[in-house]
Structure 1
Amino acid sequence: MKNKKNKLRGEFKMKQTPQPIQDLANQIFGDSNYKLYDWDLDRIYIERDNEEYTIRMWNITDETIRWTLFKDVPDEDGGSHGEEMDFGLFEYELEPQEEVYNNFSLEKFEYEMNQSKFVALVLDFLKDEILECDSCSEEYGITINLKDVNFVVSGVEWDTAIQEYLGTNGYHNVNFTFGDGNWTTIYKN
């Protein structure tokens, strides 16, 4: 865990932190005496009093975020692991400015992923078939819950159709991991 955080600090510029992310961290810590040094769609990386923490976010909707706070604890071998410290449900309100497709906001996910072209293409292609998104990133792809994982687009299975679509946009090596129910992860190699 520590190596990943150091990598994040060294390679990425700090992107603008959305207000709900800042508000969540403030609620968890009770103040703003911490350094929020990176975040992605489902994690917030924080340093406070020379200790590192990760807030893992689950079941993100336009109104609530389930969260778990982990403290980075060193291991004897020089590595580290996250020790669960607390958990809860955070409620927030967004300004009504986003176009919403079937209860999920394409613009919100595009913004949070720093305008990831790959993720935006996937969301645009599947927008009418997505029930919810669990996570997405340019590096790891996007995990989505579809209405029906067996749907067809113009007589072609959706996964074949999206591979062709992504290929015409420069993403030729696309893979899928199918999970429980209609959950799937789409990622590029």
Structure 2
Amino acid sequence: MNMNKAYFAGGCFWCMVKPFDEYEGIDKVTSGYMGGTTENPSYEEVKEGKTGHLEVVEIQYDVALFSYNRLLEIYFAIIDPTDAYGQYQDRGTQYQTAIFYTNDDQKRLAEEYIDELNQKLPEGKSVVTKLLPYKPFYEAEDYHQDFYKKNPERYQEEQEIRNQLKK
């Protein structure tokens, strides 16, 4: 297996795991924090928006079975890349969208994808998703991992709110 990692911030990480977790070739999806200045931040610190971190998912995938472009397609289908203030019901800097690239190839592919997406958006709209270099990834507390499996009712409630706000 030729494993690689990708990092996406797209609002609350609870809603970001399941869409990626359902594909062959994706080995593991881990919720965590990235982009801030505090080492080993806690959920409570990140939630307050004072550490500079975003809620992120780390996706470990087999490049022979799953392309980075396919990850970008899934990612952009589940976020609003034109919202600079968070995602759906999750508001604040910790819920902004961002792609943390780990190499020049990921950066180039993301830039190309964003350029194409910008061409398709209505006049006056543009992608505000940040494209940032990799920073240390801090795994979130255990109770956040696989949230949709551990708390299916709460996950469904969050998804219903998110879907209503997407319209």
TM over 0.5: no
After TM superposition, the score normalised by the length of structure 1 is 0.23
Larger Rg, first or second structure (1 or 2)? 1
Q: Which structure carries more strand by proportion?
A: 1
Does 1 or 2 have the higher relative contact order (CA < 8 Å, sep 6+)? 2
After TM superposition, the score normalised by the length of structure 2 is 0.25
